Amino acid sequence: MSTIFSKIIAGEIPSDQVYSDDRCIAFRDINPTAPVHILVIPRQEIAQLGHMTEDHEGLVGHLMRVAGIVARQEGYEDFRVIINNGAGAGQTVFHLHLHVVAGRTLSWPPG
């Protein structure tokens, strides 16, 4: 099922895009939780991490590498990557996405 992120990929609704390639895009979260809060999403529709198959391993590895690229692009070597899988874990948009968060002290454990 398509989500708002498919519309962002299609350019039907605007986003503050910071990275794009043939497999993914990255854009600023509309409701940032830190000075840097970027979402990295695959162009392919995968609803959530738990729906990954072996075929997706290369793609998801690529998303992880892009997380590092966008963090460094923003000037940060230290950053956190978060994937919420399922409503009970806080997922609200059912199109796989990596949250890349940086620019403030990040406590542990997360909430």
DSSP secondary structure, 3-20, as one string: -HHHHHHTTSS---EEEE
Phi, psi dihedral angles at 98 (to 5 degrees): -100, 130
Contacts of 70 (CB under 8 A, 6+ apart): 18, 19, 26, 38, 40, 100
Which residue in 37, 51, 95, 97 is the catalytic one? 97
* Sites of contact with ligand AMP (CB under 6 A): 4, 15, 29-31, 39, 84, 90-93
Nearer to ligand AMP, 28 or 56 (CB): 28
Answer yes or no: 97 catalytic: yes
Cβ at position 75, least distance to ligand AMP in Å: 21
The residue (of 11 and 54) whose beta carbon lies closer to ligand AMP is 11
- Indicate which residues carry an active-site annotation: 97
